[in-house]
Amino acid sequence: MERPQMTLLEQLIRDRVTTTTADTFSRAIDDIAHEMARDIIRDPVWRAQMRALTEKAFSSTLHQLTTNGTKRRRAKRGNRRGGR
């Protein structure tokens, strides 16, 4: 069966309801995410883990900045081709 074509008013109402519903869900999800984040941040174990990860990343970045991101290669000793 074919659906009857919607009138312009019906289309406007449907579009508005869809938009409003999506906005409401979006706000609700944001609120839940903020609440979860606040709970997680209060956890001392999580805070300690994040502090350790942050310190490690900071140290690594600082090292790369002070060495221009280059790694020094060690010369290999021992058997060299060409009899040198």
**Global pTM value:** 0.49
- Per the domain annotation, does 54 fall within a domain? yes
- Per the domain annotation, does 21 fall within a domain? no
- Per the domain annotation, does 39 fall within a domain? yes
pLDDT at 55 over 90: yes
The amino acid at residue 4 is P
Average pLDDT rounded to a whole number, residues 31-59: 95
Chain-centroid distance of CA 28 in Å reads: 20
What is residue 3's predicted lDDT score, i.e. its pLDDT?
Answer: 74
Angle at CA of residue 11, ends 6 and 17, nearest 5°: 135
- Per the domain annotation, does 36 fall within a domain? yes
